[in-house]
Structures are given as C-alpha cells and as structure tokens.
Amino acid sequence: GAVVSQHPSWVICKSGTSVKIECRSLDFQATTMFWYRQFPKQSLMLMATSNEGSKATYEQGVEKDKFLINHASLTLSTLTVTSAHPEDSSFYICSATGEGSSYEQFFGPGTRLTVL
C-alpha cells in the first residue's frame, strides 16, 4: 500500500531555533500533501495544504511566516518551524493523497517536536 515517511520522528530544540521536518511518499506520487498538528488528547488540526510546485494554502490562524512549507517534488514536502517557542511543541503529522479519485489520506508516523 501507499507509504508515507517522516523525518525526524522526534526532535528537541532550544527556543529560537528553526526545525525542518520532511515528509516523503515512498511508493507513489503525492499530488497533494497536508500538514497537521495534534496536541495531547486532541484531534488533528489541519495547518496547511500543499500541491507540488505551488504555494501552500494555510488554514485560518496558522502563521505562514512561522510554518514554512515547501512541496518541491511529487514525493517530498517539508515543514520548517521558524524561531520555535515552547508553545510550538506538538505532534506534527503529514499526509498525502495520490492521483485519481481516491480520497483517503495516507499519513506519516508523525514528528514529536519539543521546544525547550
């Protein structure tokens, strides 16, 4: 089946630094990728939608200058958390959809970000 990987699986950084998270579709071409964040015991909150080769569309309330998304190829999207602060600590999950009429999303395993 469709496999999506994320790297790193966890990261700890100091406040003020930037962190990059990679999301890769391993065995299919992902026309659209999504980035979510999830706080403990809460549901997934969509942050942005990215299509290969175009600018990401951010959800209301998500700062695009803080959460930089690049979808440079059909198999790779990156999320950079710039000038991270402790309140950015969360579980970040990407998902991808392929071509065709299938609407299910294939999720990566998630990245646990802790900002000290």
Q: Point out which residues bind other proteins (CB under 8 A).
A: 4, 6, 32, 34, 41-44, 46, 49, 91, 93, 95, 97, 103-110, 112
Report d(CA 78, CA 114) in Å as an integer. Answer: 18
Given a contact cutoff of 8 angstroms between Cβ atoms, the answer to whether 34 and 45 are in contact is no
CB nearer other proteins, residue 14 or residue 41: 41
Q: Least separation, in Å, of the C-beta of 45 and other proteins? A: 8
Q: Least separation, in Å, of the C-beta of 83 and other proteins? A: 26
Report d(CA 5, CA 27) in Å as an integer. Answer: 10
Given a contact cutoff of 8 angstroms between Cβ atoms, the answer to whether 45 and 38 are in contact is yes
CB nearer other proteins, residue 43 or residue 54: 43
CB nearer other proteins, residue 67 or residue 106: 106
Q: Least separation, in Å, of the C-beta of 32 and other proteins? A: 6
And the tokens for 18?
């930037």
Report d(CA 50, CA 80) in Å as an integer. Answer: 14
CB nearer other proteins, residue 75 or residue 111: 111
